[in-house]
Amino acid sequence: MDKAAILIVEDDAILALDLKKMLLRLGYTVAGPLASGEEALVLLSDKPVDLVLMDIELAGTMNGITAAEIIHRTVGIPVVFLTGFSQDPLLQQAKIAAPYGYLIKPVPERELSATLEMALHRHMLDRQLKKTMAEHKEAERKNAKLLAENRQLQKSESLGRMAGAIAHHFNNKLGAVIGNLEMAMAAEVSGLMLTYLGQTVGTQTALDLAEVCRQSLPLLQATSTHNLSFKVTLPRPGPMIRANLNQMQQVLTNLITNAREATEQNQGDIELIVTAVSPADIPGTDRYPIDWQPAATNYACLEVRDTGCGIAEIAIDTLFDPFYSSKSNGRGLGLPVVLGIVKAHGGAVTVASELGRGSTFRVFLPVSTDVAPRRSDISTEPSAREHGGTVLLIDDEEMIREMAATMLTRMGFKVLSAKDGVEALQIFKNHPDEVGIVLSDLSMPHMDGWETLTALRQIRPNIPVVLASGHDQSKVLAGDHPELPQVFLHKPYKKTELQAALAKAIAG
């Protein structure tokens, strides 16, 4: 794929030439440089580009803010502003032009590259949103007589939240786009949005739905609190489907997480059931996508029940709207992702709920006649025992500690953090029965990872430990050590790698 075309509007000739050289090295096509907003408007009327890199203060009578407003209003091309001062009073005025980012001069090449990548990606998402909104409006016009379906298809409130939340999210990321962590977070949300839109089908194979649930149970139970009763009904063999394994595990995880959060404040039950049903058994109300109709085939049903707080009837229609969440710490993408995956697999989701009595979510997927691979061929995360709900996190680097804590919390774990081995030992002594697993850095002041591991094992010999380090595994594990970790985790690690390491360590 060809790189985008960038127009440079900068009245400092030396800086403009430097920017042009950097853009060419990065593989972009460069237009300009131009010195004034007037020249930029004339060029863009005949020769549109993909993005404008423009100084706020320019030669001529028109400054960059005014030019950007006109560009945004007339041709819709994204603008990234250049400024010489981080506290430039014009930055506040610049917000009215809806820029896609700011760069402080002089601009490092790495920051320039990252900012442009993110701005172009965000602009692509904006265009997709506008296209989606246009398609929904057309569907609303054609199906005006179907009032119940129109209420779901127009999604005006949902799409407004989606557009605002995406713009807010990426604007925040652009402020600190130098870090790889921020880039990863933005990529994660983009991936989830594509999943919601049903655009990430992945490789599909023959799967026994009950077996997929059975192999995922240990890790799901490990993240459940002790006051919840977890019941399962999984037949052997279960109904066969043709689906993507990772996405089916994500559907199950999201539904169980939703049920667990609904019962967090009191004791309750979560029930997981897998059955096969006929099309006539699929409810016709509170069924999503709203325009979905069952085919003349049997369906596998994945059912998750909880005895939690329940959902008001008026709120059911908004459950699958992106960025809608009734939880203060939620991102509002769990159930929309479930719907996107199910939609991509030709299925549907139904909801039944009563305030104060709990909710039932059912996922219906077409039954397949394919033969499932042997159980040993199914790649799943290693299981985890029930006591792995609390992680003792030890790292002397605050940024890494906070990043890991965020990942662990999103996995459903409770986190106890320590900045070194001394503090970790004190926390461990104060919570001897609560900590289910330890994630420890290797190189730390006062007590390193090996010393901390040995001290913890003296208190509880069977405590599972994951030892993390940026050094090579063979170098770290070389030599004689009184105690060894269950798993070595190489830094930097992704969320999926951390989750797999924890599950493997807890499984022993």
The structure tokens listed for 340 are 């996107």
Q: Please say whether the dihedral angle defined by the alpha carbons of residues 292, 293, 299 and 305, taken in this order, is positive or negative.
A: positive
Spatial separation of the C-alpha atoms in residues 25 and 39, rounded to whole Å = 25
Note whether 5-107 and 390-507 share their fold: yes
**Using CA of residue 405, residue 406, residue 408, residue 414, what is the dihedral sign?**
positive
As to burial, measured by CB atoms within 10 angstroms (0-12 exposed, 13-18 middle, 19+ buried), residue 159 is: middle
Beta bridge partners, 417, equal 393
pLDDT at 90: 64
State how far Cα 193 lies from the chain centre: 8
- The residue behind tokens 């925040």 is 172
Residues of the chain with pLDDT under 70: 1-2, 85-92, 94-97, 145, 148-202, 222-227, 264-267, 323-332, 371-388, 508
The helix or strand, by DSSP H or E, that contains position 239, with its residue range, turns out to be: none
Cis status of the peptide bond prior to 106, with omega within 30 of 0: yes
Residues 448 and 451: their CA atoms lie apart, in Å, by 5
Q: What is the DSSP letter of 388?
A: T
Residues forming beta bridges with residue 231, ordered by sequence position: 271
Left, alpha or beta for 113 (phi > 0: left; psi -120 to 50: alpha)? alpha
Query: How confident is the model at residue 316, as a pLDDT?
Result: 85
Any idea what the Cα angle at residue 60 is, between residues 57 and 65, rounded to 5°? 40
pLDDT at residue 346 in the model: 92
- At 239 the pLDDT is 94
* Domain range list for the chain: 5-107, 116-196, 205-377, 390-507
CA distance 73 to 76: 6
Q: Which fold has domain 390-507?
A: Rossmann fold (3.40.50)
Cβ neighbours, 10 Å, residue 331: 16
Q: 404: how many CB neighbours lie within 10 A of its CB?
A: 24
At 437 the pLDDT is 93
Q: Is the pTM of this model over 0.85?
A: no
**Amino acid in the structure at residue 66:** T
Which two three-digit tokens encode residue 461?
Answer: 């010999």
- Report the distance separating Cα 262 and Cα 304, nearest Å: 12
Residues 6+ apart with CB under 8 A from 454: 481, 482, 483
Residue pair 336/206 in contact (Cβ under 8 Å)? The answer is: no
Q: Which fold has domain 205-377?
A: Heat Shock Protein 90 (3.30.565)
Q: Which of 295, 342, 321, 331 is nearest to 153 (CA)?
A: 321
Query: What does the DSSP assignment read for 183-216?
Result: HHHHHHHHHHHHHHTT------EEEEHHHHHHHH
- Topology at the third CATH level for domain 5-107: Rossmann fold (3.40.50)
Query: Is 99 within 8 Å of 80 (Cβ atoms)?
Result: yes
Strands 299-306 and 358-366: antiparallel
Per-residue pLDDT of 271-295, as tens digits, reads 999 999 999 999 999 999 988 999 9
